[in-house]
Structure formats: structure tokens, C-alpha cells
Amino acid sequence: MAKKSRYLHGQKIEPPAIDGNISIVDLVDKTFNAYNAARFREACQLFVERMLADDVTVGMSLSGAMTPAGLGMAAIIPLMRAGFIDWMVSTGANLYHDTHFGIGLEMRRGLANLDDRVLRDEGVVRIFDIFFQYDVLLKTDTFFRDMITASEFQRPMSTAEFHYLAGKYVLERSRVLGLKDKSLLGAAHELGVPIYTSSPGDSSIGMNVAAKALGGNKLQFDCNADVNETAAIVYGAKKSRQKSAILIVGGGSPKNFVLQTEPQIQEVLGLNEKGHDYYLQFTDARVDTGGLSGATPAEAVTWGKVDPDKLPGTVVCYVDSTIALPLLTAYALAKRRHREPKGLYHRREQLVAAMTKAAKAKGNL
């Protein structure tokens, strides 16, 4: 009898019949057996079993219109409160639309096949099948313009510092209105989770900051601080004998910004490092058209973004993030105990100082 191939030792495909009582964990672990369902199962298991270990610092990148769809309050805030997200890079648009909810404004389900000329005439703005009144934009613009007239904003600062301060103002408005956990900016402020924006001028928040600058407002975003602080977070984790994990929702600039922390450490500052330990991405982009920004896990190894020894600890799942993120959140909260929040926002200066000292010792500064 021929010897059984070593490639035939995987779990037998024999899932239970799905009924109304099946848990999210059993649904994923037992019935997601092949194709992108299998990749999603691998993603969930990687996240819970390895990325959420106590000695791992988890960074998240967020692109696409996720907060208008309600995923800030439904998924990201619960992940933050569970200690599962330690730092974040987001598009400014996600944070701008997140603010709508925190200051009591509404977004509603709509339809994607209506006449946009009619919607325009009725003052309705559309994000695919999300509808909201045009004055939601105007009221949010006013909120940010009024906020940044405060004296604490009259200086250059990292986007993490800006979002931390903004979160305080959003929380104050939420409390007055009796709202709870509607804004991830507010939750990040409470938990000390630093949130960066890699392209701060590319959003309505940046547009309002630029407009106020015309009238003499002194607020400016310090992009150098953003680059150094994010790199220092990763370097600090690795030098304290911990691991670094990246959860990538979508792609674009936020994706590159969380990943470029390692080339900043190795290539630019000349410090001894090998790359992120864990890499999990949800995307619907294709590598052959350049839509993955030249950074599949294997390709990222060549840039020093991913530790080559940890390549098995990477998963790219080709699935709509609006499907994947709620399911991942439910799976993780069902299977993993909460972690103590790291409060990395409050350690930024200490971490940058330690990285600076190391680079100077190497003669690279």
C-alpha cells in the first residue's frame, strides 16, 4: 500500500450542519473550509491565537469608508476597549465621518441605484448606499473650525496629538447629548490609543485646518513627528522583547504608513531589526495591477517590512472589509480574554527618545 502523502494530514472536510444555534467560533472554525472562507478562518486564528498574545503590540490601518457604515462603533471601539488595538493609522475621512456620530448627527441606510441628481436637489449626500443630509457636513465642519480656535491647538503637533485633543472635545459633546461609545476618536482618547493620519490634508478635517490657517490659525500637522512616533512604537515593542503585529483593513496610504515603520528603523535609522512579526490584511485589491501597493507579505519581506522568519504568520484575505471586520471582532471577543490597554499615546515621547538614543549611538543622526 502506498505511503500516505505528508500533504494529506490536514483536517478532514466534514463540517456539521449549520443550525440556528451555531456560535461564531464554530461557524468559522468548522465550516469555513476552503477558498477565501479558509483564508478568513486562518485570519481569525492568527489574530486570536498569536497577534493577541500579551507580548504583542497591535497596529491597525484603516482605509475605505468604514466609519460611515457604522464599523467604528460596531467593531473598532469594541476591539479598542478589549485591548486588541494598540495604535492606528487611518484616513482622515474615516475620522471625519466618525465625528458625525459623536456629535449627534445621523447617517442612514439608502440605495445605490437612485438618481444622484434628485438626491442633490434634495440635499442628500451619498456614500454608495449610505445617505445623510448635506448639513451634516456643514455642522461637522463648524465643529472642527470652532474646536481648533482653542489655545491648545495654536502650534504644530503630530496627528496623534491632534486626534487625542479632538477626542476630548467629541467626548464632551457626546456626554452633553447623552451618547455613549459612538466615536472611536472619543474611545481612543479615553484609552490612550494613538491615531495617526498619513495624509492629513486629504480629508475634510485637513481642509478645515487649511481654511483656518488663511485667517492666522497656528495649527499645523507635524508629519515628521508622525513618522518618528510610529517607528518608535514598533521599535519600542521589539527592543522590549515583544512582537509587532499589523492588522490592515483595506490598503492605500494608511497601509504603507504602518508598514514603513520597519524600513524607517532599519534602512533610514540603521538600527538592527528584521520586520513585523505578524501581518493580517483584508483587501479586495489585486497584486498584478499594483492595487496592493507592492506589499504582499512575501514582497514586503524584501523591503524589511516583514520578518522573513515569520512569513508563515501572515494572512491576506480577499474579502470585503465590511464583512470581515464585524466577523473578526465577534470571533475575537468570543474566544480571547481582554488585554490591558497599553496606553501608547502617553508613552510617545519616551519611545521616540529611546529610538533617538539608539540611532545616535550607531552614528546615524
Mind listing the pLDDT tens digit of every residue in the chain (365 residues)? 567 888 888 889 999 999 999 999 999 999 999 999 999 999 999 999 999 999 999 999 999 899 999 999 999 999 999 999 999 999 999 999 999 999 999 999 999 999 999 999 999 999 999 999 999 999 999 999 999 999 999 999 999 999 999 999 999 999 999 999 999 999 999 999 999 999 999 999 999 999 999 999 999 999 999 999 999 999 999 999 999 999 999 888 999 999 999 999 999 999 999 899 999 999 988 777 776 655 677 778 888 888 888 777 789 889 999 999 999 999 999 999 999 999 999 999 999 999 999 999 999 88
- CATH dotted code for 19-361: 3.40.910.10
Q: What is the pTM of this model?
A: 0.94
Q: Cβ distance 52 to 239 under 8 Å?
A: no
- CB-based contacts of 136: which residues, under 8 Å, 6+ apart? 100, 105, 106, 107, 125
In the chain, where the domains are located: 19-361
Buried b (16+ CB within 10 A) or exposed e, 80-99: bbbbbbbbbbbbbbbbbbbb
Q: Cβ distance 301 to 332 under 8 Å?
A: no
SS (HEC) of 15-69: CCCCCCCCCHHHHHHHHCCCHHHHHHHHHHHHHHHHHCCCCEEEEEEECCCCHHH
In sequence order, what are the beta bridge partners of 133?
124
Handedness of CA 336, 337, 341, 344 (dihedral sign): negative
239 is catalytic: no
Helix (H, G, I), strand (E, B) or coil at 132: strand
Catalytic residue among 212, 305, 310, 335: 305
Handedness of CA 77, 83, 87, 88 (dihedral sign): negative
